Structure 1
Amino acid sequence: MTTNHQSPEQAATRGLLQAVSADLGHDVAPEWQQAALAVPRHHFLPDRIWTDQGGRYRPVDRMEDAADWFRAAYALAPVVTQVNDGAEPDGPDDAWPSSSASHPSVVFRMLEAADIAPGANVLHIGTGTGWDTGMISHHIGDANVITVEVDATLADRAQDSLKSLGHQPTVVCGDGRLGFGHLAPYDRVLATCSVRRVPPHWIAQTRPGGVILTPWDNPWICWGLLRLVVGDDGKTAMGRYSPHSAFMLMRTQRQDLLIHGDVVKDDHRPEESVTTLPRRVVVSGDAAFAIGHRLGDVWHTWQDEPVDGVADRLWIATTDGTSWAAVDHDGGEGDDFTVYQHGPRRLWNEVEDAHQWWVEKGRPGPERFGLTVGLTVGPEGHRAWLDDPADSWPLR
C-alpha cells in the first residue's frame, strides 16, 4: 500500500508521464514508466531552483514556497538547477542557466532512442541532477552505469540523491570529453549536454555497433539530437539527426566572444551592400539547421537600435573572430536590408548561398542530415551530409 507521504509524488509522476506521452504522441515505454515511478524527479532537485520569467530567472525556494517548487518539479518543462556555474548572481538580470533538469519529454525521447537493453553497459555524460542516471540504473542495474559530471558540487549532490534511493552507480567527477576509459568499452554513450564536436574518446570507448547519442550544438543553431553507430573498425561513427532536444553546451566546449571588443574593431572599414533575403528566415527553423551545417564555424546575435535610424541589427561572425557581417533593418516597410561585411570571408554572401542551397534541395529538415565522425582532429574528422554519406563536406 502506498503511504500518504508518497501519494503526491506518485500522482505527480503519473500526471507527468501522461503529459509526456501526449507530447511524444505515444505512451512512454513501460520500463521507463516503472523507472520514473521508482525514481521520482523532485527527489533530484536542489532546494533552490530557478524559473524563467520572460527571460529573467527567478529563484524558487523549497523552504519558502513548497507548492510552487513541487509544481515546477513535475511541470512539462526544464528546471534550472544552477545559475552562473554556481556563483551567486548580482541580480535577476545577471542570472544565466548553467545546469538544469532537462525537459521531461526530451529525457524520455532520448532514453527510447538510446535503446538500452538489460545487460548493456552505459556511459552517461553530464550527470546533472542524477535523475536520468537514476532511471537508467533502475532499468539495467547500478553496476552497468557510469556517469561523469564536470562540476564537483553537482556530482556530489547527484550521488547523495542516488544513494538515498538505494542506487550506487559509478559517479565520476571529471571532464566528460574524456569519457571513462577504465571501464570501457560501452554499449551506449548517452550525453545530456550538447557538443559541437563528438569527442574521439567517446568513439574509442564504444563497442563496434554501439550507439552514441548526444544533443548537438552548432555556433549557428543549438538544437538537434545526433544518434551515431560506431563502425566495425571502432574508429568511426555515422548517424543521423532528429529535430528534438536543446541542451546546454558542454562547459569545456564553450567559446564566449563579444561582438564589440573581440570581433568588431574601431579601425575596421566594412564593405557595404544591400540584400533582400529576410534576415529572420536564416536564423530559425529548418533553414537555420541547414545553414549551420553548411557554414559550421559561424555564429550570430541580435542588437536592438544599435545606432540612430536602425531598428535592429543581425550580427554574424566567425568563431575565430576574423570575419564579421552586420545586416540592418531601418524599421520601415521596405524589403531591402543594408549589409556591412569585413574580413577575409564575406559571411552574408555565404549565408545567402547556404540558404539558396537549402531551398534547391527541397528545404530539408534535420532528419535528412547526418554526420560521419572519425578520430581525426580538424574539419575532416567531422563530415556532414544530406541524404547520402557519400556526398559529404567537412564541418568547419
Structure 2
Amino acid sequence: MTPPNLTAAEQIAIRDLLGAVNNDMDAPLAPEWERAAWAVPRSAFVPERVYLGDEWEPCDRTEDPEAWLRAVCADDSVVTQINDGMDPVDGDRWPSSSASAPSIVFRMLHMLGVAPEHRVLEIGTGTGWNAGLLACVAGPENVTTVEVDPVLASEARERLRRAGLPVEVVTGDGAEGHAGTTPYDRLVATCSVRSVPRPWLAQVRPGGVILTPWDSPWVCYGLLGMTVDDTGSASGRFAPHSAFMLMRRQRTDLRIFRDVVRDDHRPEESTTTLPPWRVAGDDLAAQFAMGLQLRDVWRTWHDDPDVAGVASRLWLATTDATSWAAVDWDGTSDDRFTVWQYGPRRLWNEAEAAYTWWTLHDRPGPERFGLTVTATGETPWLDNPDQPIPTTG
C-alpha cells in the first residue's frame, strides 16, 4: 500500500475530521481504524464533482477546491451522484449515490468487528473508500465489494488500484451478494434494505455477522446487526443510527396524486383525536416502531394543500397503491382531526393501533427491537425473539 502524499491542508482536515469522529463515537476510534483513515484518506476516493446543498448543486474540485475539500473533510455525507448518473429532467435532481458521513462509517466498522484475515463482503461500493478502510484491516485480498452501477464500480476499482489495494470489485446486483468467494466472516451493506436478501444468509458462515442499514416505507432509520446460525437463519438487534439510500432493487417510486388517489375514489370520513404528528413527526423512535409494524405503508406530508379549512394533511398509502388515508389538521384544533380512508384497508386505523401498541410498551427505541430472518420469512420482535411484534402488510 502506497502512503498518500497529503498536502498540509489535507493533513489538517484529516486531523479535524478524526476529532469530529471521536466526539461522535461512544469510545475513542480504535488505532487500526485511525491508521486506516490516514492510509486511505477520504479525499482520495470522493470524485472531483460532488453535489451540495438542498438542491444538490454541483461543486467541482478544479473550480472551487476549498469548497470541495471543506465538504469532503466534514463529518457529513456528500452526494456523489444524482439521477443514477443521468442528466436531470426539467432540472429535477435527486441523489442516487453518496459518501456516507465518516462518523457512521467508522461506527459501522466498529460494530462489524472486523479482524485481520476476516473475509468480508461489502454491498454497495460507492466511492470505494469503505472498501479501502476494510482492506487496511482485513487485508485487500480478503475484501470483495459489489456495486450495481458499472460506472461507479469502474471508478472505485481505479481508486483502489491507485491506493495499492487490489480489492475485488464486482459489478452486479448486491441483493445477490457474491457467491464466488464464500463463505464470508462479515457482510456489510452501505445501502439500506427493507427486507434482508436471502442470498446474504447463505454466503455468511455460521457465527458470521451481517450489518445493514434499515429502511421501511415509513422511515429510513436504523442499523441491523445479525449473527448467522448453523441453520442458515440470522437474528439480531437494531441500533438507532443512520439513514442510507435504499438498495436499487427495493426502491419504490410512488406519488399520491400520480399513483394513488383517483378522481372517482369516494373515501369514508371519520374523526380522530390522535394528532398525526405523533405518528409521523420528529420522534424517530415512534417512526421506527410505526415502520416496523406497518411494513407496506408509506406516508408523506402535504402542507397548505389548497383545501378549505385544511392547514396540513398527512397522507398514508400502501406500496401497492390500493389503499390510502388522509388526516387533516385545520391549523387550530389539537384534539380533533378529520380522517379520510379509501380501499380494502383502513390505514389510519392500523396506524392508531400501531401507535397504541408502542405507547403501551413504554415507547421503546430501535435498540429494543430485533429481527429474525429465515429462508421463508422475517419476524420483528421486542426485547427478545420470543416476543414478536404485531405487523401488517
> Residue 217 of structure 2 contacts residue 291 of structure 2 at CA under 8 Å; is this kept in 1?
yes
The corresponding residue for 2:293 is: 294
The corresponding residue for 1:46 is: 47
Q: What is the CA distance between 1:263 and its match in structure 2?
A: 1.2
One-letter code aligned to 1:366 = P
CA offsets 1:33-69 (integer angstroms, 9 cap, x no match): 00000001011111110112xx321211111100000
Rounded Cα–Cα distance in structure 2 between residues aligned with 1:311 and 1:394: 33
Q: What is the CA distance between 1:334 and its match in structure 2?
A: 4.2
One-letter code aligned to 2:32 = E
Q: Which TM-score applies when normalising by structure 1?
A: 0.95
> Residue 275 of structure 2 contacts residue 334 of structure 2 at CA under 8 Å; is this kept in 1?
no
Runs of 4+ in 1 over 6 A off after TM superposition: none
Which residues of structure 2 form unaligned runs of 5+?
none
Secondary structure of 2:310 counterpart: coil
- Counterparts of residues 100-111 of structure 1 (less than 5 Å): 100-111=98-109
> Residue 198 of structure 1 contacts residue 373 of structure 1 at CA under 8 Å; is this kept in 2?
yes
One-letter code aligned to 1:33 = E
The corresponding residue for 1:32 is: 33
One-letter code aligned to 1:270 = P
CA offsets 1:233-279 (integer angstroms, 9 cap, x no match): 2x200000000011000001101112113211111110111111111
Q: What is the CA distance between 1:304 and its match in structure 2?
A: 2.1
> Residue 135 of structure 2 contacts residue 167 of structure 2 at CA under 8 Å; is this kept in 1?
yes
One-letter code aligned to 1:189 = L
- Counterparts of residues 230-309 of structure 1 (less than 5 Å): 230-233=228-231, 235-283=232-280, 284-306=283-305, 307-309=307-309
Which shows bigger deviation, 212-221 or 298-307? 298-307
The corresponding residue for 1:65 is: 64
Rounded Cα–Cα distance in structure 2 between residues aligned with 1:208 and 1:3: 38
Q: What is the CA distance between 1:12 and its match in structure 2?
A: 1.3
Secondary structure of 1:113 counterpart: helix
Which shows bigger deviation, 276-285 or 216-225? 276-285
> Residue 14 of structure 1 contacts residue 37 of structure 1 at CA under 8 Å; is this kept in 2?
no
Rounded Cα–Cα distance in structure 2 between residues aligned with 1:140 and 1:77: 25
Rounded Cα–Cα distance in structure 1 between residues aligned with 2:355 and 2:132: 43
Q: Which TM-score applies when normalising by structure 2?
A: 0.96
Q: What is the CA distance between 1:5 and its match in structure 2?
A: 4.7
Rounded Cα–Cα distance in structure 1 between residues aligned with 2:90 and 2:270: 41
Task: Give yes or no for the alignment of 1:328 onto 2:328.
Answer: yes
Alignment CA distance shift 1:113-1:7 (3 Å): same
- Counterparts of residues 1-396 of structure 1 (less than 5 Å): 5-52=6-53, 55-90=54-89, 94-233=92-231, 235-283=232-280, 284-306=283-305, 307-376=307-376, 381-393=377-389, 396=393
> Residue 208 of structure 1 contacts residue 231 of structure 1 at CA under 8 Å; is this kept in 2?
yes
Rounded Cα–Cα distance in structure 2 between residues aligned with 1:31 and 1:91: 46
Rounded Cα–Cα distance in structure 2 between residues aligned with 1:219 and 1:328: 21
> Residue 314 of structure 2 contacts residue 326 of structure 2 at CA under 8 Å; is this kept in 1?
yes
Rounded Cα–Cα distance in structure 1 between residues aligned with 2:303 and 2:198: 40
Rounded Cα–Cα distance in structure 2 between residues aligned with 1:368 and 1:9: 40
> Residue 49 of structure 2 contacts residue 58 of structure 2 at CA under 8 Å; is this kept in 1?
yes
One-letter code aligned to 1:40 = P
Rounded Cα–Cα distance in structure 2 between residues aligned with 1:350 and 1:187: 40
> Residue 48 of structure 1 contacts residue 81 of structure 1 at CA under 8 Å; is this kept in 2?
yes
> Residue 382 of structure 1 contacts residue 394 of structure 1 at CA under 8 Å; is this kept in 2?
no
Rounded Cα–Cα distance in structure 1 between residues aligned with 2:144 and 2:56: 32
Which residues of structure 1 form unaligned runs of 5+?
none
> Residue 49 of structure 1 contacts residue 60 of structure 1 at CA under 8 Å; is this kept in 2?
yes
> Residue 297 of structure 1 contacts residue 318 of structure 1 at CA under 8 Å; is this kept in 2?
yes
Q: What is the CA distance between 1:308 and its match in structure 2?
A: 2.8
Q: What is the CA distance between 1:337 and its match in structure 2?
A: 1.1
Rounded Cα–Cα distance in structure 1 between residues aligned with 2:161 and 2:12: 23
Secondary structure of 1:385 counterpart: strand
Rounded Cα–Cα distance in structure 2 between residues aligned with 1:128 and 1:4: 23
Rounded Cα–Cα distance in structure 2 between residues aligned with 1:232 and 1:3: 43
CA RMSD of aligned residues (A): 1.5
Q: What is the CA distance between 1:311 and its match in structure 2?
A: 1.3
